[in-house]
Amino acid sequence: MNMMENLKTKNIITAIVLSIVLSSCKAPLATVIKDEVKENIPQNFNQEEQADANTNTGMTPWRQFFTDPNLVVLIETALKNNQELLITLQQIEIAKSGVLAKKGRLTPTVSAGVGAGVKKSGRYTSEGAGDATTEIEPGREMPDPLGNFEGGLTANWEIDIWKKLRTEKESAIAHYLSTVEGKNFVLSNLIEEVADNYYELLALDNQLDIIQQYIKLQQKALEISKIQKEAAAATELAVKKFEAELSKSKATEYTIRQDITEKENQINALLGRYPQPIVRTKENFMSTIPQTVYTGIPSQLLGNRPDIKQAELELKSSKLDVEAARKEFYPTLDISATLGLEAFKPSYLVKMPESIAYNLGGELAGPLINKSAIKANFQAADARQIQALYEYDKTILNAYLDVANLMSKIKNIDQYYQLKSQETKSLEESIDIANQLFRNSRADYLEVLLNQRDALDAKMELVEAKQKQLSTVVDIYKSLGGGWK
């Protein structure tokens, strides 16, 4: 009869374990969405031109792309001192620690400890009665109260039977790699910012030279108008107009000087240092020829642009998080073990093997009832991986549009620059003609002023066009994935 009862008990236990395992293994599936943006990326940036995969400016190292030695020094300083970059490097260290933490969960946790205590059981209890009738040695009763001294090692280990822990580690690795790509993207943006601000500073330098030349021109015109007034060839109105124009030009000069100071400090901020002069050479700015840019093919953006690679790795990490969250529905197997020495008296701890104590146990447990927390965690992970996919697609689309827009801008700004050059040349010639006519009293002061203003505006706009030419090339270099290599 006892045999039948034991067999029945074993069958009940087996059935309970099987029910736990089977109920735990019913896990929902992750949402699968087709990545149409990546699959349908165009073959070319411009349908009118055929791209060449072998020529891609984005693959050029930044030290070869930038030839101005002063700019190279500024970029090198920024790469060492920029605070945003230093913050990003710490994010990488944080992610690296996350990988080590997930990796540590794959191995047993072992701890060492010692302990001491005392216990007195009631005489009329099973434990107290047993101790009272027990002799440790012949003729030596069990001590009362009973001390306990112990020391040893304890190990706990979750067996990764479903590879859940390995999946979590792979997710942490993907996130770590995404932070590395994030750092590369910060590098690329930083180099672009330094270069763009450097060219804007050179443009301001040239505009300051132009306004100073214009001031000298206005001073001469004012002197001529005063002479003509004395000779009754001009009126007081002409003198006042030239004086007003001169004051306006001097005010513009101080505005440009302030812009130069702010731009220098903006560059210094990128370089992570206090305000100081920016070393530069402004003389060759207008004669600088922008580099020719080769875009390669759009699919190369997937491997060249750090922000796309970062989004791709975050997508991979989020998918692994969904897989790990799904495996939370499965039962876990935990093993615990203890090995050490234990005795009621410290002097007995050295008696072997009597003082040796150990314990070994295993537990298979899984969620059976009330899985709402696990389901919520899975649903959140599933939503995050869908969100990561949309972020990835958005990054690809924006990258393609960046390059397409900038390539169009390069063509248009080149044409704009050529026309502005012609306009500036014609107005420069007209100034000399107007001044000569004014000296000979064959043109009034309004014609001189209008010509001078038009020439000034054209020169200023020509400098801005040159700056946009150079900055656009830098921007497309970054958009193609250049700057971080």
Say how far apart CA 444 and CA 156 lie, in whole Å: 98
pLDDT tens string 295-352:
999 999 999 999 999 999 999 999 999 999 999 888 888 899 999 888 877 877 788 8
Identify any residues that bridge with 359 across adjacent strands, giving them in sequence order: 338
Instruction: Give the mean pLDDT of 399-414.
Output: 95
Amino acid in position 368? L
Q: Where in the chain is the domain with CATH 2.20.200.10?
A: 109-159+333-365
Task: Answer whether residue 73 shows pLDDT above 90.
Answer: yes
DSSP string, 3-18: HHHHHHHHHHHHHHHH
Amino acid in position 455? A
- The token pair at 319 is 């998918």
Identify any residues that bridge with 146 across adjacent strands, giving them in sequence order: 119
Any alpha helices (H) in 231-342, and if so which ranges? 236-270, 301-304, 306-326
DSSP string, 175-229: HHHHHHHHHHHHHHHHHHHHHHHHHHHHHHHHHHHHHHHHHHHHHHHHHHHHHHH
Higher-pLDDT residue of 242, 135: 242
Contact between 131 and 146 under an 8 Å Cβ cutoff? The reply is yes
Task: Answer whether residue 383 shows pLDDT above 80.
Answer: yes
pLDDT score, position 1 = 46
Average pLDDT score, the chain = 87
Task: Answer whether residue 144 shows pLDDT above 80.
Answer: no
Say how far apart CA 10 and CA 361 lie, in whole Å: 18
Q: Give me the CATH code for the 109-159+333-365 domain, please.
A: 2.20.200.10
pLDDT score, position 7 = 53
Q: What is the pTM of this model?
A: 0.84
- The token pair at 248 is 């306006």
Say how far apart CA 114 and CA 112 lie, in whole Å: 7
Say how far apart CA 474 and CA 66 lie, in whole Å: 9
Burial 207-245 (b: 16+ CB within 10 A, else e): bbbbbeebbebbeebbebbbebeeeeebeeebbebbeeb
Q: Phi, psi at residue 381, to the nearest 5°? A: -65, -40
Say how far apart CA 57 and CA 65 lie, in whole Å: 8
C-beta atoms surrounding 37 within 10 Å: 16
Of 1.20.970.10, 3.30.70.260, 3.40.50.300, 1.20.1600.10, which CATH number belongs to 26-106+160-331+373-480? 1.20.1600.10
Contact between 169 and 176 under an 8 Å Cβ cutoff? The reply is no
User: Most distant CA pair in the chain: distance in Å?
Assistant: 143
C-beta atoms surrounding 275 within 10 Å: 11
Task: Answer whether residue 469 shows pLDDT above 90.
Answer: yes
pLDDT score, position 294 = 92
pLDDT tens string 148-194:
888 889 999 888 888 999 999 999 999 999 999 999 999 999 999 99
Say how far apart CA 185 and CA 304 lie, in whole Å: 10
